[in-house]
Amino acid sequence: MQALVILPTYNEIGNLGPMVDAIVTQGSMFDILIIDDGSPDGTGILAGHLKETYPGRVEVIHRQGKLGLATAYLAGFRYGLTRGYEYFFEMDADFSHNPEYLTEFIHTIQYQGADVVLGSRYVSGGGAVRWPWYRKMISRGGSLYAAKMLGVEVRDLTGGFKCFSRSVLEAIDLKSIVSTGYGFQIEMTYRAIEGGFKIAEIPIIFEERRHGQSKMSPGIFLEAFWMVAKMRAERVAKEASGEPERLRP
C-alpha cells in the first residue's frame, strides 16, 4: 500500500533537496507531493528538478502566491484520494520533522489499529530541541488549551507531523474545513475524533528548522485560538440540542 508524503513549501530552497532525498531512502512505499506556493527563492524550480530526478516518486503542484498551509494539505489530500493512496502524511519540509519516523507511523496504523497517528512532542520519549522557552510555552500551552476546551485526550493537538488513513479522509467533509493556519491541525484531528476514529500518538523529537525562517506568527496563533473556541461552542450547542455524536462509518 502506497503512502503520500505532502510537503507544502514556501522559500525552502535550502531544505527541500535533502528532505526529498531522505524521504526516498525510507522505502519505495513513500511517494512525495511537493506543493509550492510560488516561492520567490526558487524552491518551485528545485521541486521540478527533483521530479525529474525521482520519476514516479515525486510530483509537484505549483500554485501562484502564498495560499497557506491548510489549502496546500487539502489539495494534497484530494490529489492522493483520486490516485488511490492509502496513507497520507502531513510533514514540514524544513527537517523539524525527521523522515526516519515515517515507517513507525505506518507500523502504528497497521499493527495497532490506529486510523490517525500523531507525532507527539508531549508523550513520554517526545520533546523539542533548540527551541526558545517562549516557543515551548506557546506550543505546550496551545495543546493543553485545545484539549481542555474540546474535551479530548490528545497530548499534542497542535503538532503538524501526522498520518491519516484513507478511510478518515473519505469520511471527513474536506470542503467544510475552515481553518487556514495552524488551527487546521487541531480541526483535522478533532474531526477524526468526532467521527469515531482511533487516534494514536507516537513520541517524536521536534527539531528547529535547519534553514530559513519560521512561518509562525501572532496571527496564526490567534486564528487557532478562536477556531478552538468556535468548535467548543458548536460542541456545547450539539450537546444541548441532544444531537447524537457522529459515528465512524
pLDDT in tens, the chain (249 residues): 799 999 999 999 999 999 999 999 999 999 999 999 999 999 999 999 999 999 999 999 999 988 889 999 999 999 999 999 999 999 999 999 999 999 999 999 999 999 999 999 999 999 988 878 777 887 888 888 888 899 999 999 989 999 999 999 999 999 999 887 778 999 999 999 999 999 999 999 998 765 555 555 556 666 667 777 777 777 777 777 776 555 454
Q: Is 164 exposed, middle or buried (0-12, 13-18, 19+ CB in 10 A)?
A: buried
Check residue 194 and give its pLDDT: 92
Among residues 249, 222, 83, which one has the least CA distance to residue 145? 222
- State how far the Cα of 50 lies from the Cα of 78, in Å rounded to an integer: 22
- Decide if 158 contacts 186 (C-beta within 8 A): yes
SS3 of residue 31 by DSSP: strand
Per the structure block, which three cell numbers stand in for 102?
515515517
CATH number assigned to the domain covering 3-241: 3.90.550.10
CB 174 within 8 Å of CB 136? no
pLDDT at 249: 44
For residue 246, give the DSSP letter.
Answer: P
pLDDT at position 214, please? Answer: 53
> Which pLDDT score, from 0 to 100, does residue 247 have?
45
Spatial neighbors of 206 by CB under 8 A, at least 6 apart, are: 96, 97, 119, 121, 126, 127, 128, 129, 131, 159, 161
Break the chain into its structural domains and give their ranges.
3-241
